[in-house]
């Protein structure tokens, strides 16, 4: 995230490789362009920040006077948003780079358990199958890489994180208990073995 001296963001991204690759700009090429933009388009940046801050303020919920009333609306809205972002063909959410999103998948699994929402279960099972069958999953050693650089779960970012694998281990185990899918059981066993062996 690039900030103005007043600590207001004006440009950012989730990841920039050192050199340009796979359609992503390289950080070393991007840095001078960001600096040039900041110095030559200050008024545009200030205007953009004003609009952004106004939109963010409008998106915040209005506090209710009766805080004791709970509503399903936020949960329903979260589910609807995740379902809209679901990649029906390859699983997961959005496009490349494609991250694991175990918390979001766990949320979908909870929607199935609570409401018998079969689409929510489909989101979870389809995604877990595609992840386990792709290059994101270490087919030899077990465990998952942090994210896929492509939409298809084929090209991993070769870094395995314990926290990602811990969350996925729980998610795959719970989904296996619900579905009985032997692939999920295999992933649980192999990932647990990797954690015990390597971590």
Q: At what angle do helices 118-133 and 182-198 cross, to 10 degrees?
A: 50
pLDDT at 67 over 70: no
Q: How far apart are CA 75 and CA 81, in angstroms?
A: 10
Identify which of 134, 139, 88, 128 has the alpha carbon closest to the alpha carbon of residue 104: 128
Rg (C-alpha) for the chain, rounded Å, is 21
Secondary structure letter of residue 4 according to DSSP: -
Phi and psi (nearest 5°) for 137?
-90, 130
Output the pLDDT for position 128: 98
Output the pLDDT for position 160: 92
pLDDT at 63 over 80: no
Secondary structure letter of residue 90 according to DSSP: T
Q: Which two tokens stand for residue 95?
A: 């496009």
List pLDDT tens digits, range 2-57: 888 888 888 888 888 888 888 788 888 888 998 898 899 988 888 888 888 888 88
Output the pLDDT for position 17: 84
List pLDDT tens digits, range 73-102: 999 999 999 999 999 999 999 999 999 999
Q: Which two tokens stand for residue 147?
A: 């994210």
List pLDDT tens digits, range 95-154: 999 999 999 999 999 999 999 999 999 999 999 999 999 999 999 999 999 999 999 999
Give the 3-state secondary structure of 153-189: CCCECCCCCHHHHHHHHHHHHHHHHHHCCHHHHHHHH
Write the CB contacts of 99 (distance below 8 Å, at least 6 apart in sequence).
Answer: 92, 146, 147
List pLDDT tens digits, range 100-112: 999 999 999 999 9
Token pair 């992933």 in the structure block, residue: 187
pLDDT at 66 over 80: no
Query: What is the Cα 54 distance to its own chain's centre?
Result: 26
177: Cα within 13 Å, side-chain hemisphere: 7
CATH topology of domain 73-198: Glycosyltransferase (1.50.10)
Output the pLDDT for position 64: 67
Segments of the chain assigned to CATH 1.50.10.20:
73-198
Token pair 């840095």 in the structure block, residue: 31
pLDDT, averaged across the chain: 91
């Amino acid at each position: 995230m690039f900030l103005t001296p007043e600590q207001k963001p004006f440009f950012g991204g989730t990841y920039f490789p050192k050199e340009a690759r796979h359609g992503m700009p390289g950080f070393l090429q991007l840095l001078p362009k960001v600096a040039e933009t900041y110095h030559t388009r200050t008024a545009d940046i200030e205007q953009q920040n004003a609009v952004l801050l106004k939109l963010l303020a409008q998106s915040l919920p209005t506090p209710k006077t009766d805080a004791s009333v709970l509503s399903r609306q936020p949960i329903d809205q979260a589910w609807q948003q995740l379902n809209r972002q679901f990649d029906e063909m390859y699983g997961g959410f959005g496009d490349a780079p494609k991250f694991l999103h175990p918390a979001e998948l766990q949320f979908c699994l909870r929607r199935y358990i609570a409401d018998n929402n079969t689409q929510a279960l489909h989101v979870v099972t389809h995604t877990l199958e595609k992840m386990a069958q792709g290059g994101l999953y270490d087919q030899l050693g077990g465990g998952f890489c942090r994210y896929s650089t492509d939409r298809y779960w084929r090209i991993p970012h070769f870094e395995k994180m314990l926290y990602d694998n811990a969350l996925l281990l729980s998610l795959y185990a719970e989904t296996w208990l619900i579905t009985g899918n032997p692939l999920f059981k295999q992933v649980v066993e192999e990932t647990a073995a990797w954690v015990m062996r390597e971590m």
